[in-house]
A and B are shown apart, each in its own frame.
Chain A
Amino acid sequence: MRWVNRRPGRGTAFLLGAVPLAVLGLTYIIASAARHAANPADKILPLPGAMAQAMALLVFEADPLSGEYLFWADTAASLWRLGVGLGIATISTLLVGLVLGVLPPVRATLGPLVTAIAVVPPIALLPILFIVFGLGETAKVALIVVGVTPFMIRDVAGHVAALPREQVVKALTLGANSWGVMLRVALPQAMPRLIQALRLSLGPAWVFLISAEAIAADVGLGYRIFLVRRYLAMDVILPYVAWIAVLAVVIDFALTQSSRRLFGWAHGTAH
């Protein structure tokens, strides 16, 4: 059978997907064991046991100074910033992207502005955000918003503008006005695309979050990683990176599932 026609079943696909991950883990353990055989005090590739020990301190024991469970405090702070930033980005995308996509005069007016903002590297704006908003939460959230919103707006507006002209004409012959077209034709068809754009923006959003936390923060996953870097604490950095990956995968999965659940028509699944 040709390779293009081989479709692994669910179980097989799961196994196949697990193999590279297992190989990666195993390779790490072997490399780590080899380094420790040569130098028992090696800090670059800590053994799993050492990582578990270091993490246990952060996960299960309150920090003597602040009384906080640092791992959970970091996670909560980062997720809060990410959530607020992406929430603001999503709502602005929906409002601006929809209007931009449906109403040609608005597109002519605001399109170039959105494009101009989109081509500026957001990290270059970070100093400005710190100056304007101070070093608090606002600047970090603002970086995420500024970083992902222009892309999302352009994506959603482009999708809406590319809806077949026939659909708009049809809605008008059914008695709709511009508002009706926006509400009943464009909005529902923009939603799955919005979720898609949000998924694609997750990666950049994490980058902006961690950059902002690395530069000015006192709590957060990115802050912790850059703090313990000074002590070469790979036993904390690696688990934190893995944890960020897990969070990202879970969020992505939740978005995909909710899109399928809510907008089944867009995924070709029978109801």
Chain B
Amino acid sequence: MLSLKNLWVEYGDKIVLERISLDIAEGSFVSIIGPSGAGKSSLLRVILGQERPTRGTITLDGAPLPAECGPDRGVVFQRYSVFPHLTVLGNTLLGLEFAQSPFTARLFGAQRRAAVGEAEAMLASVGLGDSLHLYPAQMSGGMQQRLAIAQALIKRPRILLLDEPFGALDPGIRADMHGLITRLWREHGLTIIMVTHDIKEAFSLGTRVLTLDKRRHDPHAPHRYGAAVVYDLALRKSVDEAGITIDANHNNGHE
């Protein structure tokens, strides 16, 4: 469904990513791991449309992806994903308000009641049904990430991009969030691309794990070579989470 062809990302003369070619199937859960600075966030930003690749194309179902962020791709960052000036309900309503009211970006009357109902249902499904009127500053990190997920999902995006969404959470909350994201992924038929530093998380959640790293290294000019996909593992999950089998090792990219 999502297809990246020969993608290069450069900042000035620093090459961050080189020759990234990927096909991502609808409904897959792709985890991206790799050392810090490898360009994981850069790849996500390019797919999101926040930045343009220096070379290469991205197509969604064969059509070039618009190079601007839009409601077809949802995102949750590690931080700053929710708006501090809006309550939980306000944050969740925002996506509906932008869509239904282009001029005032606010809803009134029956339209608002319908939107509030939808937002409340979404918040209930991420476990924030009792916190509708809290502001983000009054919530824990885990609650804020739940809100960020609800806020993104209410737009029914086809693709959800997550950049270290659980990086700042403690292990217990993290496990809860893993359960939550897996459930929402199945329920909404999402395609998820998640960057993480936690290898265990990458393997336990993903149906496919990509590793970004530099394949070549010039000790005198480290910036001349970018990172590429060095491992690309497809996982087949049995119903009980214990049995992960590494299925294939295609598109691995070594010359």
Contacts and interface: CB of A to CB of B under 8 A. Distances in A.
B80 A188 contact: no
Given A166-B80, A167-B80, A184-B94, A172 B85 contact: no
B79 A166 contact: yes
Interface residues of A, number: 27
B97 to A, nearest CB: 7
A194 B82 CA distance: 22
A268 B68 contact: no
Chain B interface bracket (under 10, 10 to 19, 20 to 34, 35 or more): 35 or more
Contact of A173 (B73, B84, B104): B73
B102 A177 contact: yes
B77 interface: yes
A189 B136 CA distance: 14
Contacts of B75: 169-170, 173
Contact of B98 (A167, A175, A265, A271): A175
Nearest to A168: B69
A193 to B, nearest CB: 11
Interface in A173-196: 173-177, 179-180, 183-185, 188-189
A11 interface: no
Interface stretch (B150-158, B173-181, B207-215): B150-158
B81 interface: yes
A95 interface: no
B85 A175 contact: no
Contacts of B151: 170, 174
Contacts of A169: 48, 50, 69, 75
Given A265-B84, A265-B85, A175 B70 contact: yes
A94 to B, nearest CB: 16
A205 B15 CA distance: 52
A255 interface: no
A167 B103 CA distance: 20
A168 to B, nearest CB: 9
Contacts of A266: 84-85
B48 A174 contact: no
A188 to B, nearest CB: 4
A263 interface: yes
A271 B135 contact: yes
Nearest to A191: B85
A64 interface: no
Given A169-B48, A183-B105, A175 B95 contact: yes
Q: Chain B at the A interface: mostly helix, strand, loop or mixed? A: loop
Nearest to B100: A175
Contacts of A176: 98, 105
A270 interface: yes
B77 A170 contact: yes
B2 to A, nearest CB: 15
Contacts of A185: 83
Contacts of A217: none
Interface string B155-175: 101000000000000000000
A165 B45 CA distance: 12
Interface in A97-152: none
A231 to B, nearest CB: 54
A171 interface: yes
B85 A174 contact: no
A196 to B, nearest CB: 15
A188 B48 contact: no
Interface of A: 164-167, 169-177, 179-180, 183-185, 188-189, 263-266, 268, 270-271
Interface of B: 48, 50, 68-71, 73-75, 77, 79-86, 94-95, 97-99, 102-105, 133, 135, 137-138, 151-152, 155, 157
Given A173-B157, A189-B85, 12 more contacts: A166-B79, A170-B83, A172-B68, A174-B95, A174-B98, A175-B99, A176-B98, A183-B104, A184-B105, A188-B86, A271-B133, A271-B135
A-B CB proximity, top 5 nearest: A172-B69, A166-B80, A164-B80, A174-B95, A175-B98
6 contacts: A167-B80, A167-B83, A173-B155, A180-B105, A189-B84, A265-B84
